[in-house]
Chains A and B, each alone.
Chain A
Amino acid sequence: GAGVSQSPRYKVAKRGQDVALRCDPISGHVSLFWYQQALGQGPEFLTYFQNEAQLDKSGLPSDRFFAERPEGSVSTLKIQRTQQEDSAVYLCASSLAATSTEAFFGQGTRLTVV
């Protein structure tokens, strides 16, 4: 596609519910990143994939967060047993090279946990 696509754009989940957020990166991009952005803050790193390998997951806030990119293209971020503090915008980004430079971001998924 022309850009990074994320779905859904908005998600309302009841506390305790599991959610899955999808990211379609730009075709051919090696690197894929997930970030979490709270209102009025900059994006906070969650995890990084180089092709299908998850090379850094140091930013995942708890073991309720899980990400995968099984075929080196589409990625899914899953949050189990959602809690109110998980409410944020989740951004996906991809870049051509195996670095975080000049990343292309999707529009994000706004998750609200009620």
Chain B
Amino acid sequence: SQKIEQNSEALNIQEGKTATLTCNYTNYSPAYLQWYRQDPGRGPVFLLLIRENEKEKRKERLKVTFDTTLKQSLFHITASQPADSATYLCALDGGFKTIFGAGTRLFVKA
């Protein structure tokens, strides 16, 4: 069955640095991959979508890469801020449904 792996340990970084989160998947060839942000007690918020024929996509301080050979996506936040502290979810296209990873918790220290 499809499996998504995200860093289960929290990522702690200093304000101003670049945060890099990893998403690996197996047993699947998704047409696209999405990243969502989730704050405690809130629903996920869509950030970026990258398609299988795209290597990289950017939006403001966010950058996503998608390597279909390695079956991996990297999510970067440049010039990180304490307000970026949240859980970031990787999500694969599952036809009608979206298959989510467990998420990686990011803490940005001032």
Interface residues of A (CB under 8 A from B): 4, 31, 33, 35, 40-45, 48, 50, 55-56, 58-59, 91, 93, 99-108
In Å, the complex CA distance between A44 and B34 comes to: 15
Query: Which residue in B32, B42, B46, B103 is a CB contact (below 8 Å) of A42?
Result: B103
**Which chain B residues (49-70) contact chain A, with CB distance < 8 Å?**
49
Q: Is the CB of A4 within 8 A of B94?
A: no
Q: Is the CB of B96 within 8 A of A107?
A: no
Query: Which residue in B43, B89, B101 is a CB contact (below 8 Å) of A4?
Result: B43
Min C-beta distance of A103 to chain B, whole Å: 6
Query: Which residue in A33, A50, A102 is a CB contact (below 8 Å) of B46?
Result: A102
In Å, the complex CA distance between A41 and B49 comes to: 21
Residue among A4, A33, A101 with most chain B CB within 10 A:
A101
In the complex, chain A residues whose CB is within 8 Å of the CB of B101: 42
For residue A56, which residue of chain B has the nearest CB?
Answer: B96
Query: Which residue in B43, B95, B97, B100 is a CB contact (below 8 Å) of A106?
Result: B43
Residue among B4, B49, B89, B91 with most chain A CB within 10 A:
B91
Query: Which residue in B41, B89, B99 is a CB contact (below 8 Å) of A45?
Result: B99
Question: Chain B interface residue count: which class?
Answer: 20 to 34
Q: Is the CB of B32 within 8 A of A105?
A: no
In the complex, chain A residues whose CB is within 8 Å of the CB of B79: none
Query: Which residue in B32, B34, B44, B49 is a CB contact (below 8 Å) of A43?
Result: B44
On whether A45 and B103 interact (CB within 8 A), knowing A4-B43, A101-B49, A104-B46, the answer reads no
Min C-beta distance of A53 to chain B, whole Å: 11
